[in-house]
Amino acid sequence: MSPNQPPDHVDDPERHLPPHHSPLPELSGPEAVHPSAAALARVQSSDEFAELRKRFRNFAFPMSAAFLVWYFAFVLLSTYAEDFMSTSIGGSNITIGLVLGLLQFVTTFLITWLYIRHANKNLDPIATRIRTELEGKI
C-alpha cells in the first residue's frame, strides 16, 4: 500500500457488517419462489391484472402529460418570453421566472406524493393479492 492510498476499509461504509450480509432481499435459496411461465401467463390474462394496469395507466399517463406540458411551457417561456420571465414581483429581486422555476421542484414533489398515495390506496392491494397468489401463500 502506497502512502497516498487510504486503507481499503476506509472507503467501505459497510465494513462493520458480517461478510455474508446483503442489504438486498434474497432472490434465490430455499425460500425463493419462481412461478411457472403458465402461472405468469394466467395472471397476465386475469381481470385483476388488467384492473391493476388500468389503474396505473389512468394515473400515470395523464399526470405525465400534464407535467410535460408544464415543463415545456416553462422552457418555452424562458426561451421566448424573456421580458415576462424577468418581471420582478413586488419590486424585489424575485422574478416570475424564478418563482416558476421553483414551482417545477414543488410540482415534482407533489406528483411523487400523489403517486405514492395513489399506489398505496389503489395499486398495492391488488399487486399484493397477485403476488401472494403467485407465491402460493394463499
Task: Express each pLDDT in 58-107 by its tens digit.
Answer: 999 999 999 999 999 999 999 999 999 999 998 889 999 999 999 999 99
Supply 80's cell numbers.
421566448
Looking at residue 11, what DSSP letter applies? G
Query: pLDDT tens digits for 5-44?
Result: 555 556 677 777 777 776 666 666 666 678 889 989 999 9
Helix axes 124-134, 47-80, angle to 10 degrees: 140
Domain ranges of the chain: 40-134
